[in-house]
Amino acid sequence: MTFKSALLYWLKLGFISFGGPAGQISMMHQELVEKRRWISEHRFLHALNYTMVLPGPEAQQLATYIGWLMHGVWGGVAAGILFVLPSLFILSGLTWVYLSYGDVSAVEGILYGIKPAVTAIVVFAAYRIGSRALKNNVLRAMAVLAFIAIFAFNIPFPYIVLMAGIIAYIGSRFAPEKFKAGGHGDGSKVSYGSAIIDDETPAPSHAKFKWSRFIVFSVIGLIIWAAVMMMLSKAYGWEGTLTQMGWFFTKAALVTFGGAYAVLPYVYQGGVEQYAWLSGTQMIDGLALGETTPGPLIMVVAFVGFVGGWTKEIFGPEAQLIAGVAGASIATLFTFLPSFLFILLGGPIVEATRDDVKFTAPLTGITAAVVGVILNLAFFFAYHVLWPQGFDANFEWFAAIIGAFAFLALFKFKQGIVTVIAASAAIGFIYSLFI
């Protein structure tokens, strides 16, 4: 397998990676494990187990890991960037259309149908994660407490993550069986034939741990981060919109345990309530656009950055498009930079301990808390979709019907996310023609 062929595959994946992390991981498994035989089932799942432990988008990190394992640092960097770049361009273009023509009745009708579908998707995500993660009453109680913490007391998401990890760590000392979590299996019962990177293939030289390499990558990553932050601070001041975006999305990147749905409440707290980069309704619209574009769902941060740059007119009222692109680019850079470092720094350690990587008790507790946080997000979306003008205004009964049918399509009929959103958008558009 050549570096060129790998580049072409990662670029193709960036344009077709619909369906959220589950769909993207499935695509990579089918193509790389089953068809092309670039990597064995065991090595693929081993890498997946590691990326599931990390904060950040697991599908993008998995692509980065496999690219790194096959072709070294540049292979990992190329895989990770090409996985994200098409989504950045597509989402930036759609966000420009949304901000420029969002008041057009046809666009409003499409969004009217998509919003309740997105609400149903979030509810389904809470159910899907909860059914796997909440295996006993202790973990269920942690999910309930997390929901109460963010819903009733508005406690920031990072504090909830921290407390869940501490509680689980302490609890595992007294009742370890309550905080056990299984991995994804070792693939020993499935064989697709020999692979280029097979079960017993020794780690290449670039995948062997060296302190010198660890220190160099750490320094390079910090230099890139600090250099961009210093340039932004010098050009716009520490309180400047782009500078604050860089700082905020750096923090967001480090607390994204549980995937994009889990970090969205934190992005909402910062983007809507703290910095006022966008409104609550726009946040829902952004998630709707994120669900309909390829790439990791966490790319909704590009929407937040674009709208923030546009709304704040950081380059003046005549340059809103450039401001939006700058905001989207800054949000994307600072969200994904830690992901590359996690792989380049931790990958050699993971390769050296292929048979020992396990989920920890703190991660189990964090995953349980994430379920409560996602459920809170579903309540937030449902309120803004069904009562867009507040509880005193009319209830959007037709939106409720769309949401109910969307949930049934996902839960009972196992329809894909893109199919559900497309059908809901069509229904919303048709409905808008008669009101």
Note the pLDDT tens digit of each residue in 210-235. 999 999 999 999 999 999 999 999 99
pLDDT at res. 140? 95
Closest C-alpha to 11, from 75, 77, 116, 81: 81
- Where residue 72 falls (left for φ over 0; alpha for ψ -120 to 50; beta otherwise) is left
pLDDT at res. 207? 85
Q: Which of 85-99, 339-353, 382-396 is modeled with the greatest confidence? A: 85-99
Q: Quote the percentage of the chain above a pLDDT of 90.
A: 38
- Cβ(10)–Cβ(157) under 8 Å? no
pLDDT at res. 191? 58
Amino acid letter for position 255: V
- pLDDT tens per residue, range 261-288: 667 778 888 998 889 999 888 888 888 7
pLDDT at res. 358? 42
Interval 127-149 mean pLDDT: 88
Comparing 55-69, 71-85, 153-167, 322-336, the range with the smallest average pLDDT is 153-167
Check whether 190 has a pLDDT greater than 60.
no
Confidence of residue 353 (pLDDT cuts 50, 70, 90): low
Check whether 397 has a pLDDT greater than 90.
yes
Check whether 396 has a pLDDT greater than 90.
yes
- Cβ(418)–Cβ(292) under 8 Å? yes
Confidence of residue 409 (pLDDT cuts 50, 70, 90): very high
Q: What values do phi and psi take at 292, rounded to 5?
A: -100, 0
Q: Which two tokens stand for residue 366?
A: 């964090």
Comparing 30-34, 166-170, 199-203, the range with the smallest average pLDDT is 199-203
Comparing 67-76, 101-110, 268-277, 315-324, the range with the smallest average pLDDT is 101-110
Q: What values do phi and psi take at 184, rounded to 5?
A: -105, 10
The whole-chain average pLDDT of the chain stands at 85
Confidence of residue 343 (pLDDT cuts 50, 70, 90): very high
Distance between CA atoms of residues 272 and 279, nearest Å: 6
pLDDT at res. 261? 66
Distance between CA atoms of residues 154 and 148, nearest Å: 9
Confidence of residue 63 (pLDDT cuts 50, 70, 90): very high
Comparing 6-20, 163-177, 221-235, 413-427, the range with the smallest average pLDDT is 6-20
pLDDT at res. 357? 36
Distance between CA atoms of residues 259 and 252, nearest Å: 11
Q: Which of 161-170, 279-288, 397-406 is modeled with the greatest confidence? A: 397-406
- Cβ(410)–Cβ(120) under 8 Å? yes
Top-confidence residue, 201 or 18: 201
Confidence of residue 293 (pLDDT cuts 50, 70, 90): confident
Q: Quote the percentage of the chain above a pLDDT of 70.
A: 91
Check whether 245 has a pLDDT greater than 50.
yes
Check whether 291 has a pLDDT greater than 70.
yes
Task: Say how many CA atoms lie within 13 Å of 63 toward its Cβ.
Answer: 31
Quick one: how far is CA 267 from the chain centroid? 11
Comparing 37-51, 281-295, 349-363, the range with the smallest average pLDDT is 349-363
Q: What is the pTM of this model?
A: 0.74
Interval 289-303 mean pLDDT: 83
- Cβ(140)–Cβ(246) under 8 Å? no
